[in-house]
Amino acid sequence: MPESYALLVERISSSAKIPKEEVERRIEARRAKLSGLISKEGAAQIIAAELGITFDSVSLRISELMPGMKKVNVTAKVINIFPVRSFDKNGRSGKVANLIVADETGNSKVVLWDTNHISLIENKDVKAGDVIEIRNGSTREGEIHLSGFSELKKSSVQIQTVKTETNFSEKTIDSLSENGGVLIRGTIVQMFTPRFFSVCSQCGKKVNQEVDGFSCNEHGKVVPKERALLNLILDDGTETLRTVIFSDQLEKMTSLDKLKDPVQFEIFKSDLLGTEVYVKGMVRKNQLFNNLELSIQDLEKADPDKLIEKLEKN
């Protein structure tokens, strides 16, 4: 049972003063009523609302966060801050800032849209290593988003130990939602031709090709680095899922030169097609196709001996 779901059941049980088994029975009944078209976590949130339980004033641990939550309150340590970016999209311009926060249960990206919050980053009032309090945030696609109605401030709470690695919950494709890291065991049934592109050697962002070379919006004229991505279709017996592997993971498996060579790519492709694998990655919604997609962070072939050993233990 995923940790976030287990903690949610525990909170509902404690708040409503009913046994955890009864909470889970109600959750499964709700899912059955909706023909299974809702995750356990989503059904749990409905049951909590029906019981009059809200988490608006409760400070949650990061492992307890789930998609679609409103008025999220979190106290966590800042472990990384990315440069503030300016944008101009669909006639709307502004700035956005991203940071990674962590507590003893997990970590999450925090996205800042409000100029007052962003100024805390620009003025270095909030730095890596600081513990911050977030109030009235919302969760989207495994991230915490802060609007002008949210609150962000430094905290006097001390957090010594934090969990910086991504949490990967073992799931089937038909149960995926836009949240966090997942581990899936499946078979590669299709592989597409790799795509190559150039990025800035300093910030890693896509560059613009010009007559006399390449330029980065942030760093001007640059000598670009070549990157690649590869799309696969994964089938785990419940559904199929489009996945994408970027250069960092690809180059652990083969070289970019071999991917460019049609003969070498066919050898690489034939070695993986039809192979059962374990993949770890982050689930995101592909805005172009409006479907879920997995960004693979790690891929390894399934070891039959280890699989048999695991089945015997179960």
Q: Tell me the domains of the chain and their CATH numbers.
A: 1-54 (no CATH), 56-165 (2.40.50.140), 168-198+227-313 (2.40.50.140)
Predicted local distance difference test score (pLDDT) of residue 260: 93
Which uninterrupted H or E stretch holds 42?
helix 40-50
pLDDT at 314 over 60: no
Predicted local distance difference test score (pLDDT) of residue 23: 93
If pLDDT is split at 50, 70 and 90, which confidence band does 261 have? very high
224-256 as b/e, with b when 16 or more CB fall inside 10 Å? beebbbbebebebeeebbbbbbebebbeeebee
Between residues 270 and 289, the one the model is more confident about: 270
Match 């073992």 to its residue by tokens: 170
Nearest to 18 by CA among 42, 54, 48, 46: 48
Predicted local distance difference test score (pLDDT) of residue 87: 78
Which uninterrupted H or E stretch holds 199?
strand 195-199
| Cα torsion 284, 289, 184, 65: sign | positive
Structure tokens, 80: 């990384």
Find out whether 62 and 108 touch, Cβ atoms under 8 Å.
yes
Q: In whole angstroms, give the CA distance from residue 314 to residue 261.
A: 44
126-153: average pLDDT: 91
What does the mean pLDDT of the chain come to?
A: 86
Q: What tens digit of pLDDT does each residue of 62-85 get?
A: 887 877 788 889 999 999 998 888
Q: What tens digit of pLDDT does each residue of 49-64 get?
A: 888 887 767 788 888 7
Predicted local distance difference test score (pLDDT) of residue 92: 76
Between residues 106 and 189, the one the model is more confident about: 189
Q: Looking at beta carbons, which pairs linking 19-25 to residues 24 or more positions away fall under 8 Å?
A: 23/47
Predicted local distance difference test score (pLDDT) of residue 1: 38
Predicted local distance difference test score (pLDDT) of residue 266: 95
Find out whether 40 and 75 touch, Cβ atoms under 8 Å.
no
Q: Quick count: other Cβ atoms within 10 Å of Cβ 146?
A: 23
Lowest-confidence range among 22-36, 146-160, 229-243, 296-310?
296-310
- What is the Cα 185 distance to its own chain's centre? 18
If pLDDT is split at 50, 70 and 90, which confidence band does 135 have? very high
If pLDDT is split at 50, 70 and 90, which confidence band does 147 have? very high
Find out whether 122 and 99 touch, Cβ atoms under 8 Å.
no
